[in-house]
Amino acid sequence: MNIRNRLLPALALGLALAGCAREGDLIVDQGVGISAVRSTCPAVGIPDYTGDITTFRTAGATMADLDVTAAITNLRSTCNEEAGDRVYTEASFDVVARRSDTRGSRTVTLPYFSTVLRGGSSVVTKRVGNVTLQFADGQERAQARGTAGAYVNRADATLPAEIREQITRKREPGDPDAALDPLADPAVRAAVQRATFELLVGFQLTEAQLRYNATR
């Protein structure tokens, strides 16, 4: 599945620093410049149309045949960027589910993916796991917890010194480029994009499930 082409909008260049811990801040203090506070930790998110899953008892996919609906929520991440050449990020999330037929106890296993994306389009790694929900007899709702982890090479997620200097350099009033956004420079923009990583988590959907989510 081509995650970026099918599930995510293109990265807006104005949000090129969204993969950082915080976006660049405009500083007006003894001149004009941009203080870009970046992190080597990837941004964590859920791609469009993959945060929900719906299963049906038959292939008809009508509401009368609806079996189980589930959603990913409470996505959080922790990251250790202080030591080593590889930065490890772990994401945790809850899956909340509801079934239409509450008769009997039941176990439901749902697949999910975790993928590391570089520069908004290049898949670095992808893994598929499962989360298992337990419904007691007569119980309509169930909840389970899932996790996903990923390593990012520190060197790949670090801006080159010359690019970092160009972004953060103080610009005095009257400088020819004082009012120019350094990210308007294609070379700077490309370097920021190359150093931007995302850890994306979502349900591993079939083509039919993806179409259902996109059109409902």
Each as own residue / partner, the long-range contacts of residues 5-14 (CB below 8 Å, 24 or more positions apart, any chain) are 6/210, 7/47, 7/48, 7/49, 7/50, 7/202, 7/210, 8/47, 8/48, 8/120, 8/200, 9/48, 10/120, 11/120, 11/193, 11/196, 13/183, 13/189, 14/183
Residue range 130-156, pLDDT digits in tens: 999 999 999 999 999 999 999 999 999
pLDDT tens for the chain, residues 1 to 216: 444 443 443 332 233 333 333 333 323 233 444 444 568 899 999 999 999 999 998 876 677 789 999 999 999 999 987 768 899 999 999 999 999 999 999 999 999 999 999 988 889 999 999 999 999 999 999 999 999 999 999 999 888 888 777 777 666 665 665 556 666 678 888 888 888 999 999 999 999 999 999 988
Segments forming the whole domain that contains residue 184? 3-215
Among candidates 80, 2, 12, 93, which has minimal Cα distance to 45? Answer: 93
This prediction's pTM = 0.75
The SS3 call for residue 76 is: strand
Alpha helices in the chain (DSSP H): 3-7, 161-168, 186-194, 207-215
Tell me how many domains the chain contains: 1
Q: Measured between alpha carbons, how far is 94 from 99 in angstroms, rounded to an integer?
A: 17
pLDDT digits (tens, 9 = 90+) for 17-47: 333 333 333 232 334 444 445 688 999 999 9
Q: Is 107:71 a contact under the CB 8 Å cutoff?
A: no
Q: Is 7 helix (H, G, I), strand (E, B) or coil?
A: helix
